Structure 1
Amino acid sequence: MAQNRVKPVPVIFDSDMGPDYDDVGAITILHTLADKGEAKILATMASTNYEGVAGVLNVFNTYFNKPWIPVGVPKGTALNLRDWQHWTDTLLAKYPHKIKTNTEAADAVKLYRKILASQPDHSVTIITVGFLTNLSNLLNTGADEYSSLTGKELVKKKVKQLVCMAGRFPSGSEFNVMKDAPSSKNVYENWDTPVIFSGFEIGVKIKAGLPLIHNSTIQNSPVKDAFRISIPMAAEDSLGRCSWDETAVLVAIRGYNLFYDLHKGKIVVAADGSNTWDDKGIGQAYLVEKADYKTVQDLINELIMHQPVSKIINKRSIGQVRKNQSTGSRIAKIEALNRKIDKIEANIRRRETEISRVEAQ
């Protein structure tokens, strides 16, 4: 009997990748679900512009065998907040990444316009787990070489939904909304597609990272390194880091039904970035717990321990080769296996390009 294949969700991922390290968990879950065929990553965007943020995104894309994923950074005014634990410095020093400076990355707004213009109508899910800087700038754009539509028109035509780790509900102040309040206010007042919020109260209970850092089978992982470095540096993280950003990715790809209900209405952002909720508003909703949060916690901890497919293959194959072959033969076998992996990955990239071309027609 033929099985119904789930069509991968086309995603643009927008992160502040640095002030906190739940962004690491979020991009890891995104790549995990992409490896499972549930997501297709169109681009990874930084909503901050501290030097090195483009390289950090490229580190994760490279680690998960997708170094070709475009990276965008704000080229104008943006926050330059970065991690105080310096895990980003470790990752940039330790792991391969082709993008060395932010100047080598694309302008985030131009990249948004280029990608959205090439996608089928009402198809793209945008996930924000940082500031709304890029999306505000996108809404303010006019026609360009990629589309005759304004930013607001392009969003309405091409975006299916916006899923944000943002806000505190039903009211309060939350970092992602507050730090660039004018952008947050512009986006949430003028965005013309459905918006789902995973608020502060959703992720604060969910602790992630301890199973990962205690898993001795995972080695040379930027994901593990970020959590390994950061967790011991804050007493409040002794049980793991709060999973604010991870929940947004999970809901954006797999939907909210298993774990959450939606409270519909519309966010109201004040000039200082604090938020309230208008139950009479339309087009937006925030998550409300339905399942035990520990169920989501277990799932997140499992997903962030995912390793790149080729890395798993290499580990298993090298172990088997060592049992049976001399040193020279081992090396030859490993090199042959890596060539096969390279061919498989090249075929995957070629197939993804063909699918994108067909979908854009």
Structure 2
Amino acid sequence: KDHPWSAALVDVINTFYGRPDIPIGAVRNGVTPSEGKFLGLAVEKKGKSWRYAHDLESGRQAPDATTLLRQTLASAPDHSTVLVQVGFSTNLARLLASKPDDISPLSGRDLIRKKVRFLSAMAGSFAPVPGRVRHREYNVVQDLDAARAVLTSWPTPLIASGYEIGIRVRFPHESIEKDFAYTADHPVAECYRRYCEPEHDRPCWDLTSVLVAVYPDRGYFTLSPPGRIHVAEDGYVFFEEDPKGNCRYLRMSAIQQARVREALVQLASQPPGTKAEGAR
């Protein structure tokens, strides 16, 4: 999100979980500059101090996201990096289009091909959505040109988590109220409450993409046959099976659905410095 407090809130959450030095990049001239419902949490104070500790006060202090992506990939071992995209495709489309520079003699496309193992992206829909004949997924239509560039021409394996996956995995509001209550002030729980209505079980669109990126071999999901993703002029996404294609999308049985929900609750609710023993 192209708002100065967006990067600051990321730093709030990283710092809360004991990882204050994770590099943070900020999009420039993004498609959604609005503040939203919870970004203000990053600038709230108790007395003269931040309510939640962090040192990045504004996205204007952060490096450009494309520059940071190029730096990160250039310094990584070959074929070692898994990228996760859970919002708009703006930054990765710009990475794809980036030219050789003093960071790397490789173009963005060649840098991705050399360094990235696979991309996990929350985008599109690959199964019928009840009540919608032609569902156009939000992340795609908000920056349509960027989404088309990434989804149709990404040079490494790409795993897409469609709308139909996240809508079936709902994070229980009871977990927010009970499992995050180990501290009076919890930035994740507070953001959830500010965004959602009381007792709302939020669909886990983004978290499913993260889960398959971190644990791709745990059987949480089944992958479709290989193929290619196409993006129509109106933003409708469809999949064409092709043995030579680099794309797959997630499928999920009822048993997998229950496992995914439990894993996400266990992983997301762990206090800083602990390990989710229940995630299998």
TM-score (norm 2): 0.86
Q: CA deviation at 1:52?
A: 0.6
* Residue equivalent to 2:83: 126
Q: CA deviation at 1:80?
A: 1.9
Give the helix-richer structure, 1 or 2: 1
Query: Matched residue of 1:202: which SS?
Result: helix
Please tell me whether the aligned partners of residues 109 and 137 of structure 1 are also in contact (alpha carbons under 8 angstroms): yes
C-alpha deviations, 1:189-241, integer Å up to 9, x for none? 221100001111111121114212234434321111112333335xxxx3411
Q: CA deviation at 1:159?
A: 0.5
C-alpha deviations, 1:33-72, integer Å up to 9, x for none? xxxxxxxxxxxxxxx2122111011111111111111110
Query: Matched residue of 2:72: which SS?
Result: helix
What is the distance in 1 between the residues matched to 2:156 and 2:69? 16
* Residue equivalent to 2:48: none
* Residue equivalent to 2:137: 174
How much is the aligned-residue C-alpha RMSD, in angstroms?
Answer: 1.8
What is the distance in 1 between the residues matched to 2:35 and 2:118? 28
Matched, 1:90 2:47: no
What is the distance in 1 between the residues matched to 2:97 and 2:189? 38
Matched, 1:56 2:20: no
Query: Matched residue of 2:100: which SS?
Result: coil
Please tell me whether the aligned partners of residues 159 and 247 of structure 2 are also in contact (alpha carbons under 8 angstroms): yes
| Percent of aligned pairs sharing the same letter | 31
What is the distance in 2 between the residues matched to 1:129 and 1:77? 15
Please tell me the residue identity of whatever aligns with 2:150. V
Matched, 1:114 2:82: no
C-alpha deviations, 1:230-260, integer Å up to 9, x for none? 3335xxxx34111111111111011155122
* Residue equivalent to 2:102: 145
What is the distance in 2 between the residues matched to 1:292 and 1:148? 43
Which residue of 167, 174, 181 corresponds with 1:204?
167
Which residue of 202, 205, 219 corresponds with 1:244?
205
Q: CA deviation at 1:292?
A: 3.8
Please tell me whether the aligned partners of residues 8 and 42 of structure 2 are also in contact (alpha carbons under 8 angstroms): no
Matched, 1:286 2:249: yes
Query: Matched residue of 1:146: which SS?
Result: coil
Structure 2, unmatched stretches of 5+, are 45-50, 129-134, 275-280
What is the distance in 1 between the residues matched to 2:234 and 2:196? 31
Please tell me the residue identity of whatever aligns with 1:253. V
Q: CA deviation at 1:170?
A: 4.0
What is the distance in 2 between the residues matched to 1:289 and 1:75? 36
Matched, 1:265 2:227: yes
**Change over 3 Å in CA distance of 1:125–1:60 after alignment to 2:** same
Please tell me the residue identity of whatever aligns with 2:228. K
Query: Matched residue of 2:197: which SS?
Result: helix
Which residue of 92, 98, 103 corresponds with 1:135?
92
Structure 1, unmatched stretches of 5+, are 1-47, 311-361
Q: How does 1:1-361 map to 2 (within 5 A)?
A: 48-83=1-36, 86-93=37-44, 94-170=51-127, 172-208=135-171, 209-215=173-179, 216-232=181-197, 238-255=199-216, 257-263=218-224, 264-280=226-242, 282-290=245-253, 291-309=255-273
C-alpha deviations, 1:289-344, integer Å up to 9, x for none? 1334122112211211111129xxxxxxxxxxxxxxxxxxxxxxxxxxxxxxxxxx
Please tell me whether the aligned partners of residues 74 and 115 of structure 2 are also in contact (alpha carbons under 8 angstroms): yes
What is the distance in 1 between the residues matched to 2:262 and 2:88? 27
C-alpha deviations, 1:63-114, integer Å up to 9, x for none? 111111111011244432443xx22212431311211111100100011111
Structure 1 segments (4+ residues) deviating >4 Å = none
What is the distance in 2 between the residues matched to 1:292 and 1:136? 32
TM-score (norm 1): 0.67
What is the distance in 1 between the residues matched to 2:201 and 2:30? 33
What is the distance in 2 between the residues matched to 1:64 and 1:257? 25
